[in-house]
Amino acid sequence: MAYIELKEVSFQYENGKRVFHNINLNIEKSEVTALLGPNGSGKTTLGKLMVGILKPDVGQVYVFNKDTSELSLSEIGSKIGYLFQNPEKQFFTNSVYEELSFVLKTRKYGEDYIREKVDKALNMFQLKGLEKHSPFLISQGEKKRLALAAILINDPDYLILDEPTAGLDSKRKEILIDILSRLNKKGIGMTIISHDDEFIKSIADRLIGLNRGELVYDKRN
């Protein structure tokens, strides 16, 4: 059974720009799927439809076998982590530590457990020493790593990552590939939106090409 399913989905923005018309797509949880295509092809729009940030004008989007129109973003977010292309869009606290600990605090975990989880995330994503820094004032690469760490600390079942390697040097790309590969082996599936061909070749199982809102290919890597 597909973890994410789009059934005859059509979508256009309020300005009248139509992006998709009668799109059908099944995404499996067990693999890494890449959404590829030029700027303006609909990749980010598709990712936002998949996680319920956008709702289709026509058709249905199902996540973990439930219609996104009947789910709140928090219900979807408890299982699917979404990384924005611009990580600042998902920051809303005053420090790196607060950003990482926020979800754990809302889930009423104890301070010792929170500190342990946050410390592990800081080390994994090379953010140690930035705990008191504002998320908005660190480097672009650090912002990207912080946003991903904040998503993963919530232990999602699935990830949708929009340009995760943007702002990362080659060494940190290798670290990211290792982290994502280990997560996938643990059963966490993911859809990755990217222009980074080398990154995609190293991690993706399935390649889906988009152009002007059309699915132009769907193949195995």
Tokens representing 118 are 């946050």
Q: What angle do CA 164, 167, 169 make, to 5 degrees?
A: 100
Amino acid in the structure at residue 154: N
Q: Taking Cα atoms as reference points, which of 4, 18, 63 lies closest to residue 214?
A: 18
Q: Which tens digit of pLDDT belongs to each residue from 104-126?
A: 998 889 999 999 999 999 998 88
Q: Which tens digit of pLDDT belongs to each residue from 77-102?
A: 989 999 998 999 999 999 999 999 99
State the pLDDT at residue 102: 93
Tokens representing 183 are 């997560």
Q: Check: CB of residue 144 under 8 Å from CB of residue 125.
A: no
Q: Check: CB of residue 208 under 8 Å from CB of residue 217.
A: yes
Can you tell me the distance from the alpha carbon of 3 to that of 96, in angstroms, rounded to the nearest whole number?
32
Model-level pTM? 0.91
What average pLDDT is seen over the chain? 92
Q: How many CA atoms lie within 13 A of 133 on its CB side?
A: 13
State the pLDDT at residue 100: 96
